[in-house]
Amino acid sequence: MRRACDTGPQLNREIDMRVGFIGLGSMGLPMAQNLLAAGHELVVYNRTRSRADGLARSGARVAESPGEAAAGVEVLLTMLADDAAVEDVIFGENGALPALARGAIHVGMSTTSPALARRLAAAHAAEGQSYVAAPVFGRPEMAKAAKLWIVAAGAPEVLERCGPVFAPMGQGVEAVGAEPSSANVVKIAGNFLLAAAIEAMGEAFALVRKHAIEPARFLEIVNGRLLRSPIYESYGALIAAERFEPAGFKLKHGLKDVGLALEAGGEMAAPLPLASLMRDHFLSAIAWGWADIDWAALAKVSAVNAGLAR
């Protein structure tokens, strides 16, 4: 039984499709599992092949190259680390672009740059294919629970055809226009807000800790009375408990996203002074060796700057 997904009245959610999925990281693996469980015919590719083993046991076909994952599918989904990874699998050796059929759709779900979305849209159009950008909000546990929020942009009739693949992965789809790059801008701006909340909490928690106030008690007051939000609650709890492992969203990807915000701001002369500051704090965190722990560890930079133990 297909999950409901608020993708608009025109979307047919009951069609099983031939779907290719590239990128089985923390997010991609549970997303692919949900597509398979929903009845889609799935072919998967991951650079590190062993991450596909569980899906193979559940009935997915494992491709040996991105091109093989793209051949013969109606929709190809990519959920990869960054621009370079997407460029490798789409334009690289044995890449997906020449293998994808005319009329097929590539749905890019990674958090990548608007500039790459424009390049992908043009390259796919030249091959008679379509490109949709559909980055997501939600961490791996939300991906597993099929509770992602999908921000999608592309031609309306193409978005409509994506309904059956969006439905098993998300609790809703926010369509933001016909230009795929718009979805990336919304995602990048959203992550900028999340990072800013973590940065602000990091500084505030360092302050209260220096004054011997219990971080958990402070969070109770802030989230209960002042700024109630799921973000303050969830990230606040991680920061108060200094619990940064296992990583839901790796800190190095946070650096990537704040860089994407600065790049997108640079394109349009939209200064983001707070993003510049956060970029330096992310770099400090990487220098401390925290690249692969949760990005909530951005808060540790303020703690260390305040002389609190690492």
Ligand X SMILES: NC(=O)c1ccc[n+]([C@@H]2O[C@H](COP(=O)([O-])OP(=O)(O)OC[C@H]3O[C@@H](n4cnc5c(N)ncnc54)[C@H](OP(=O)(O)O)[C@@H]3O)[C@@H](O)[C@H]2O)c1
Q: Rounded to the nearest 5°, which phi and psi values hold at 294? A: -65, 145
Least distance (Å) between residue 133 CB and ligand X? 12
The SS3 of residue 207 is helix
The one among 44, 132, 136, 195 contacting ligand X by CB under 6 A? 136
Among positions 51-80, residues that touch ligand X (CB under 6 A) are 51, 79-80
Q: How far is CA 129 from the centre of its chain?
A: 23
Active-site residue identified among 187, 252, 256, 300:
187
Contact window for ligand X (CB under 6 A) among 97-105, 193-201, 246-254, 274-282: 246-254
**Under 8 Å between Cβ of 101 and 75:** no
Binding residue for ligand X, selected from 44, 77, 85, 296, defined by CB under 6 A = 85
Asked if 30 touches ligand X (CB under 6 A), the answer is no
Kindly state whether residue 25 participates in binding ligand X, applying the rule CB under 6 A.
Answer: yes
- Choose, by CB under 6 A, the member of 20, 67, 140, 170 that binds ligand X: 140
Which residues 6+ apart lie within 8 Å of 157 measured at CB? none
In 40-70, which positions are buried (b, 16+ CB within 10 angstroms) versus exposed (e)?
Answer: bbbbbbbeeeebbeebeeeebebbebbbbbb
Tell me how far, at minimum, the Cβ of 181 lies from ligand X, in Å.
15
| Nearer residue to ligand X within complex by CB, 13 or 139 | 139
Q: How far apart are CA 25 and CA 218, in angstroms?
A: 35
Structure tokens at 91: 């334009």
Of 248, 249, 303, 261, which Cα lies nearest the Cα of 281?
Answer: 303
Q: Does 23 bind ligand X (CB under 6 A)?
A: yes
Binding range to ligand X, per CB under 6 A, among 8-16, 20-28, 93-101, 267-275: 20-28
| Chain positions contacting ligand X, by CB under 6 A | 23-28, 46-48, 51, 79-82, 84-85, 88-89, 110-111, 136, 139-140, 248-250, 253
